[in-house]
Amino acid sequence: MRFTDNRRMFVFLLMIRKIQKAQILRWLSVGCCLILATSLVGFENCVAIGMHSKLVHAQETATTKLGKARGCVAAWKWPLKARSKSDQIVIAEFDNPVEPWLPGHRGVDLAADLGAPIVAPSQGQLSFAGVVAGKQVVSLRIDNFTVTFEPAVTGLKAGTVVESGQEFARVEGHSDHCDGRCLHWGVKTAQQTYMNPLSKVKSRKIILKPE
């Protein structure tokens, strides 16, 4: 009887050990799966982060290149030939009045000698060349802007297409701005409002007239 009880106890303990072993193996299996899953998620996150970083870098590079390209396209050239930026002198600044009928200065006056060649600030079309109120005026149509110069004369006919930087006129004739020593440069928008021509070009030297 005692032997039978001992045998039963032995069998019982053996079954418990098998159950414990199976449970341990199950726990180990679950733990390994969790570790593997975590590793895979971490790997996927690393791959996703890496791809996102490359995509952001590519987008930033493309945006930078596009920004530079737009900047180069948008800028106009100085309308007078100059050896250096020190020759790009403004002697009268833009002063747009609050109301159209009020006095002001609807353009800028650039230092220039008689006979100085005038170049196209950008590609455009000659829209007018003649006398307005006793002043010699030459106008270009550039995009949606009307660009005027005075005193100026040209041998080209209206409708002629001029390229950016092309000589198309020269400083000559009469103007009520500064005869013989400057070129008045004006820009009008499609809405018939005046804008500062200097906003269309790059850095320049400014010398204001003395009071």
pLDDT at 67 exceeding the cut of 50: no
Element (H, E) at 142: strand 135-142
Proportion of the chain above pLDDT 90, given as a percent: 44
Tens of pLDDT, residue by residue over 114-154, are: 999 999 999 999 999 999 999 999 999 999 999 999 999 99
Q: What is the DSSP letter of 77?
A: P
Q: Is the pTM of this model over 0.75?
A: no
Highest mean pLDDT among 17-31, 81-95, 116-130, 195-209: 116-130
pLDDT of residue 128: 98
52 vs 67: CA distance, rounded Å: 22
**Long-range contact set of residues 199-202: C-beta below 8 Å, sequence gap at least 24:** 200/74, 200/75, 200/76, 200/121, 201/75, 201/76, 201/77, 201/78, 201/121, 202/75
The per-residue pLDDT for 26 is 64
Q: Which CATH class is domain 85-206?
A: mainly beta
Per-residue pLDDT band at 74 (split at 50, 70, 90)? very low
Per-residue pLDDT reduced to its tens digit, 176-195: 777 678 999 999 999 889 99
Sign of CA dihedral 20, 26, 27, 29: positive
What pLDDT is stored for residue 148 in this prediction?
Answer: 97
What is the residue type of 142?
I
